[in-house]
Every structure is written in structure tokens, then in C-alpha cells.
Structure 1
Amino acid sequence: MSARHDRPDLADRRVRVQGQPVDSYPLLPPEAERGSVRRITEVGEEVLHRPCREVTEFGTPALSALIDDMFVTMHVADGAGLAANQVGIDLRLFVYDCPDDDGIRHVGHIVNPVLDALDPAGRRLIDEGEGCLSVPGAVMAVPRTDRAVVRGFDKDGNPLVIEGTGYFARCLQHETDHLLGHVYLDRLAKRDRKDALRQMADRREQVFARRAGKAAVLGR
């Protein structure tokens, strides 16, 4: 998912890493310092439109390296979340570096995530602008619940429960959708989907130039 354009400097926020509060955290996560930038897949590519495979091997160098690469790729693309199939890997895994609406920055990864079904009486649907790194340049209003709970594992196989509200809840839902083979365009009416694809056609090259510029600054 793309980052909000109106967010303040993440360095000034309270931070939760893997769901736990920390005293301080760098603007560029350690994973991104280690990773290599990968190509981001685009809507229409087959890997984005089918369910991803469960991760069955934890604690491997390959899984750690994938997470590192996903973090730096997300950072270069100004993202708030990135699923593995967005870098061409059909595994149930996503990373995130996303603010909520209460001034808290959430950073982490989750493997084999499953969204909890929430009681309809205790949730609200919010229509808010949403973008996707695989639909570069397009932003459309998408209804999402204002709270989300995701259960899964960290890269070493330890159980995780991540709860989000506001924009972070939107991010958790958006990225879990990716792992089920859905992009946010699938939630739009036909006319709105066409509008999003027009936006992408108009802005795609500008987005790619921005990404290339950020990668160059990082020496990637």
C-alpha cells in the first residue's frame, strides 16, 4: 500500500515494532539497510491475481533476505506496506511501516497472516483514499473497517497478533488482500476501476522516476 501524502515525519512518532512499543527507531529500518531493491509487480501480472502459498520453513536465511529486500523496496517506493507477491514471490508474507491515526508508527512483518472476523456491531466502515504500489500513481476511495486484527507468525515461527486502527487497519486489510490474490481495484465499481487505471497510465512514469531517485540516494 502507498503511504499517505499528508503524514508527518515518521521520526517524530511513537513506534511499535512487531506490535511492541520501543523507545526509539530509525527512519530507515535495519532490514532496509541490509536489503536490495526488487522490481515491484504491476496489476495484470498473474502472481498478483492468485492466492499465495503458505510459508512452511521458518528461520531460514532466504526468508530473512526476502524480508530485508521487501523493506528497502517498500521504502524506495514510498510505501506503507508491501506483500511478497508484489516482488514476484507467491508466499504469504507482508511487511509494513505505517502510521495509524493516533500518531503511532507501526513497523514489522507478518507471515501467514489471517484477519480476524470482527463483530459488525463493533466496527465502522470508512471510505478513504487508498493507493497501491502495484497500481502506481492511482488513488481511489475504498471502504475498509476502522479496526483490524491479524494473526500469524514472525520469520522465526513465533506467533504474532497485530492490531491496527485507522490508516494502519487499512494497511493490514490491504496487504492481506494481496496474499489472497486481490488488489484494491477488485473492490471498486467498474467505472472507478477504469478511473484508477487512467490515473496509473498518466502518472506511472513519474512514479518510476521518483523511485529511481530514492534508490540512487540509497546507492541501490
Structure 2
Amino acid sequence: AGAATAAAPASAPSSGASASGYPALPTSNVADLFKAREAWGSKTATTVTAPLALGAVSPLPSDNIKPRKGFEGQPTVHPLEATPVAQLTAVPLDKIADAMKKLLAEREGWGTSPSKAAKAASRSAEAADCEAKLRDAASKGVILFASDSDNLSSKSNATLDALAKIAKGCSKGRIRVEGHTDSTGRASYNKSLSDRRAKAVAAYLANAGVANDRLEAVGYGQEKPVASNNTREGRAQNRRIEFTVVE
């Protein structure tokens, strides 16, 4: 008799649950699985009754809730602000022609001439450059006052003259002279002293040729320290004059 060969057992449909606890596949034959997959969606859907959740005694009731119409209470109504009345500027008869020419000239430049934002940015850059030069000159020099006084020391003249030269070269913006003190003494007195010192510096610059309408002075007292007031060196740094260019 010839040698016997062992044939693989035919795949039989499985039933029950797999070892993982999930429902077992109807067959383990690969070809049958692909065939079953191709048939997905071709059969009519059937209604499946879901089992109750663990511990539930009855299914949830059907959703018959109807949304309410409208809302409860009164609406909050904010009154509209009155539209301001247009302000008209009267133009004298003999100047109407010039006004129209100016308007038409501006209209021709729409979209071609530099925008207001670009001009503002340009002015801001020029102001920032002027401010940087003033602060640099002030940091390299000295601005000294007599103790507890707004009297400028003659040792400050060279620095103040250099500042005046820079200020006269700045064509745009106003120069704000800012006075600061340390925290020694009363805050109100320190603010008054810093204001008087700032005005003294502004007056020197005006006498040196800087236009008065381009100068302003303000005293902050001890409000804006740049160093600790607990050390002698820190207090010396806080007693200072600074320059800001505003437009």
C-alpha cells in the first residue's frame, strides 16, 4: 500500500466567542472571508435589538422632547447711540475754486502717493533716531545739579551744548525733558524737584537755540527707577535726566 498522506481538515464554521471574548468569525478560511467582505453593503439592513446595559431594568424611553419656542423673560435691549450730525465747514465763495483744485489734486494721487501710514512710519523713524542720539549724548556726558536744588552745575555745559546741537538738527517732533530722582525723602517733594530740574534743562536748551515750542518738561520723581534705591550706586543712577521725542 502506498504511503498515506494526512489531509488538512476542512474549515468548519465556528460559533460562540473567541478567546478574546469577541464574537467568533463565521469561518477562518481566507477566501471565504474575502468573499464575505465583497458582499458588504449588498444586503438589506436588518433591525438589531441592542441588549440592555449591565444593571439596567428597562430600555431608555424614546426621545419625545420638543424644544421650547422663544425664550423666558424679557430681552435686553441696548439703545442705539445717536449718529452724530455731520459737521460742515463753510468755504468762502472766493476760495471754492482753490478748494476744488486741492480736492482734485488729492484724488488724482489716490493709490499712487505715499499713504498716511507710510508717512507716519517715516516720521516715527526720524523721531526714534533723534531720541537715540539725544540719549546717547546724555549717557556719555554729565548733567549735574547742586544738592537738593535745580541749579545746573557748570560741569554740565559741555553735555548740554552737545544736546542742543542734536536737538536743533531734529526737524520733526517735540523733545520732552524728563526728570527723575531717587526715593530719598518725600515722594511729593521729589516729584516737584524733578520737575524743576527738567525745566532747568529745557530752559538751557532754549537759550542755546532750540525752539521753545519744540520743548516740554515733566518730572516723574521717584516713580520710574532704573536701579535699586537700596545702594548708593543705584540711587545715583536713579537721579537722572532723560530725553524722549514725541510727535
Q: Same fold, TM exceeding 0.5? A: no
Structure holding more strand per residue:
1
TM-score category, normalised to shorter length: under 0.3
Q: TM-score, normalised by structure 2?
A: 0.22
